[in-house]
Amino acid sequence: MTDIVFITDVHGKYEVISQIFDEVEPDYVFIGGDLTDFGPLEGVIPALEEIPAPTLVIPGNCDPKEIVQIIEASDAVSLHLKSIDLGTITVSGLGGSNTTPFNTLFELSEEEIATALAGVLAKMKKNRWNILVTHAPPKGALDGIGEDGSVHVGSESVAAVVREFDIICCGHIHEQKGVVEFERRICVNPGPASEGNYSVITLNDEDEPIIVLRNVHDEKDE
């Protein structure tokens, strides 16, 4: 059995990271981008060094592109544009987001996302569990904005490859916290870590994954 903590959208609230790991002791940690809030980068390495488990990280659209080099200089592993085997788990990553109206720091066109994902898939070894960590959600899943969530702003190129994976870990859309089925696959957005949110994904080779959404503030109230 393997426990993975997935967090995303920290937005510089690094104190939440230590609070999360006061509560759980996972085997691995995946971070889905937006560690910073348009920078600065000085706090990234100290924050990553607080995490007591092997950590794989992608950048988000609010991170300067230079964060990839900062992650690589830390004890964590940059997962951006990579596919890594962890025993019976293969985890692949793509940072940044599809384009937004706000011209944020790390955006990619759908063509660039499609090309990047094709490169990742070419490197990927199919495993018992295949996980994609992407900052942007696939179009049609956990990507609704507006008063009724009817405007879908996820990536079409991510949506096109979801069937290559068992679980898609995403973030970006803060108000779309949840776990949903999409194209017969599981998509999870734990909600922004800046507000205390995280998820625990438990994988057993014999059973379906167990995904629990948690919040450090709720745990303190118990």
Determine the pLDDT at residue 23: 87
CA angle 193–99–124, rounded 5-degree value: 70
Q: Write out pLDDT tens, residues 23-33.
A: 899 999 999 99
Rg of the chain (C-alpha set): 16
Smallest CA-to-CA distance from 20 within 193, 211, 210, 203 is with 193
**CA quadruple 23, 2, 184, 55: dihedral sign:** positive
Domain of 142 in residue numbering reads as 2-221
Is pLDDT above 80 for 220? Answer: no
Determine the pLDDT at residue 219: 62
Q: Write out pLDDT tens, residues 144-203.
A: 998 888 888 999 999 999 999 999 999 999 999 999 999 999 999 999 999 999 999 999
pTM: 0.96
- Domain of residue 137, CATH code: 3.60.21.10
Structural domain count of the chain? 1
* Residue 165 identity (one-letter amino acid): F
